[in-house]
Amino acid sequence: MKKTVLVTGATSGFGKAIATRFAKEGNDMIITGRREALLMELSAELRKKFKVEVLSLCFDVRDLEEVEFAISSLPEEWKDIDVLVNNAGLAVGLNPIHEGVIDDWERMIDTNVKGLLYMTRFVAPIMVSREKGHIINIGSVAGKEVYPMGNVYCGSKFAVDAITKGTRIDLVTHNIKVTHVAPGAADTEFSLVRFKGDKVRADGVYKGFKPLQAEDVAEVVYYVTTLPAHVSIHDIVVMPTAQASAVNFFKV
């Protein structure tokens, strides 16, 4: 049966691939992000290719009022969200803690932690009232292991892991599944954003090995929603075969 699936950060990378994967199965999609033109482009593509309904909502997950308005003003036919994928997130900078850029820290904590919380706070009550739903939080291997100069980004992703566990505990009595998906290195806009548009540095991250593709992560996210009602995946770490830990790579 088709579901209503909301994916944050659907303008690129994992979010775009996740929206495409769910749409391919005939699900109705709510896609969000800050870049309106990209949302429009994806909406048109999904409607045309998969004949699904698509609602695009352009807002910043860091803005509490925008998040509240986006969810509380959903048209009636879009209110029954079955799956929330909290994917919007970013790393900004890679500095030792004593040289950290405060604005980078704010952006990571506000987006990865507070943005995810805001979305959850407004969507979870809908699921609670329906006594069903599935929340999938995109964490990272950086939320399992700390690596040099990862300090605040790792902290934000450890927070995602902890918040996911807390969410699961609080919602278990409401029949809501809560899953943490923690990917390793993946070739998206992630490194371009982390290195503030420095494409040479960003491309260097993925040299010498095959990183995850956005579609690989989308497949895992889709998979966790396909299991029987009584089966819940709590936590998945999905890595490139050539990556053994946050810092151990087999590069040629």
**Which residues are designated catalytic?**
153
Minimum separation from the CB atom of position 141 to ligand 8X3 (A): 5
Could you say whether residue 142 binds ligand 8X3 (CB under 6 A)? yes
Smallest separation, CB 34 to ligand 8X3 (Å): 20
Q: Which does 12 bind (CB under 5 to 8 A by kind): ligand NDP, ligand 8X3, none?
A: ligand NDP
CA 199 to CA 202: how far, in whole Å? Answer: 5
Residue among 8, 56, 140, 167 that touches ligand 8X3 (CB under 6 A)? 140
User: Token match 């599944």: residue?
Assistant: 177
What are the CA-CA distances from residue 197 to residues 65, 70, 92, 211 (Å)?
29, 29, 11, 20
Nearest CB to ligand NDP, comparing residues 12 and 43: 12
User: Is 141 a residue that touches ligand 8X3 (CB under 6 A)?
Assistant: yes
233 binds, among ligand 8X3, ligand NDP, none (CB under 5 to 8 A by kind): none
Q: Are 55 and 32 in contact (CB under 8 A)?
A: no
| Total interface residues for ligand 8X3 by CB under 6 A | 6
Binding of ligand 8X3 at residue 113 (CB under 6 A)?
A: no
Q: Determine whether 66 is exposed, middle or buried from the number of CB atoms within 10 Å of its CB (0-12, 13-18, 19+).
A: middle
Residues 120, 84: Cα–Cα separation, whole Å: 8
Q: Which is nearer to ligand 8X3, 89 or 133 (CB)?
A: 89
Which sign does the torsion angle of CA 166, 170, 173, 179 carry? negative
How many of the other CB atoms lie within 10 Å of CB of 60? 16
Name the segment binding ligand 8X3 (CB under 6 A); options: 52-60, 135-143, 171-179, 210-218. 135-143
